[in-house]
Amino acid sequence: MRVVLEKIDKLAVSFECVKEEVKTGLRCIKENLETHPWFNMSQTTDGTRVNTRKVFFEAFGIKNDTAKCMLTGVTPLRPADLTVAHIMPKSAKSKYLECLSMTRDEVNSVRNLLLLCSKIEHAFDRLDISFVPPSNPFEGQFCLRIWNAKVRDMPIYEGASTNIGDYDNAVLNLSVNGRVHNPFKRAISYQAYHAYLYWSEYNYDVPELIDADISVYASGRGFREAYGNIVGRAIAEEV
């Protein structure tokens, strides 16, 4: 009996060792797969939306009945159909923030927020759509670029009569309730860059992004070396 118990103990120890090795291996795989801050991010919930919604609404003096989607100009009847969305996710790791010279506090600032219809926000988080410069990057405008054709027929919010595809190439309105909104354009371009990389891997007919000289972000350590000159042209004075 003693011999049997000893063998059971040894097997238990071996099992724990194998289990730890598997956990370590899975962590390594996840780290290697995670190439951008939108990878495996959790969907926005009402609980995480409350504070940012209050911050954004107070900054621009808007209320639920006057709030409009910055892309469509629509005011949904249900407040939940209009989302205050983070450009860089709240869960973004420090290494990504350092690339953009952003601090953790800036992730939750008004400049990292956009007011979008709920389905548009979901498509943005999944890298199905982006906002890119229409022609001249230094005009400071961004228009909708649809990467995933499947979202074209998706309503802008549940029950809406218009779809995301109806707003293809529409310009993002950076005037909120008559006040100028100055979002982090480098973060918008960063999302567009990773969406471009993701969808171009599928060998789809993905148009090239406007070439970008991001040297104005010299303070972003490793940014230029890591991402070259293709990250949408951002506007000077942003950093």
Kindly report, residue by residue over 63-83, the tens digit of the pLDDT: 988 899 999 999 999 999 999
Residue 85 scores a pLDDT above 90? yes
Q: Is the pLDDT of residue 30 over 50?
A: no
- CA distance linking residue 186 with residue 88, whole number of Å: 10
82 domain-assigned: yes
Structural domain includes residue 77: yes
Residue 41 has pLDDT above 60, yes or no: no
pLDDT for 37 equals 67
Indicate if the pLDDT at residue 25 is higher than 60. no
Contact 213, 179 (CB under 8 A): no
Q: What is the DSSP letter of 163?
A: B
Position 148 pLDDT exceeds 90: yes
pLDDT for res 50? 41
Residue 176's identity, in one-letter code, is V
Q: What is the DSSP string of 55-116?
A: HHHHHHT--TTT---TTT----SSGGGEEEEESS-TT--HHHHHHTT--HHHHTSGGGEEEE
Distances (CA, A) of 84 to 50, 116, 155: 9, 6, 18
Token pair, residue 175, equals 């005037």
Q: What is the spatial distance between Cα 108 and Cα 179, in angstroms, rounded to a whole number?
A: 19
Task: Answer yes or no: is 16 within a domain.
Answer: no
* Helices and strands, counts by H and E, the chain: 7, 6
Whether residue 237 has pLDDT greater than 50: no
Q: Report whether pLDDT(174) > 80.
A: yes
What is the total count of domains within the chain? 1
* 178 residue type, one letter: G
**Contact between residue 121 and residue 44 where contact means Cβ atoms under 8 Å apart:** yes
User: pLDDT category, 139, cuts 50, 70, 90?
Assistant: low
Using the predicted structure, report yes or no on whether residue 213 has a pLDDT greater than 60.
no
Lowest mean pLDDT among 85-99, 104-118, 125-139, 166-180: 125-139
Q: Is residue 175 part of a domain?
A: yes
Identity (one letter) of the amino acid at 146? Answer: I
pTM above 0.75, yes or no: no
Residue 150 lies in a domain: yes
Q: What are phi and psi of 109, to 5 degrees?
A: -85, 165
10 falls within a domain: no
Q: Kindly state whether residue 4 falls inside one of the protein's structural domains.
A: no
Q: What band does 44 get if pLDDT is binned at 50, 70 and 90? A: very low
Query: Is residue 163 in a domain?
Result: yes
Say whether pLDDT at 125 is over 50.
yes
CB atoms within 10 A of CB 59: 16
pLDDT tens digit sequence for 47-59? 344 488 999 999 9
pLDDT at 31 over 50: no
pLDDT tens-digit map of 95-118: 888 888 899 889 889 999 999 999
Residue 10 pLDDT level (bands cut at 50, 70, 90): low
Instruction: Inform me whether the pLDDT recorded for 210 exceeds 60.
Output: no
Owning domain of residue 195? 46-227
Is 178 a residue whose pLDDT tops 90?
yes
Average pLDDT score over residue span 10-29: 53
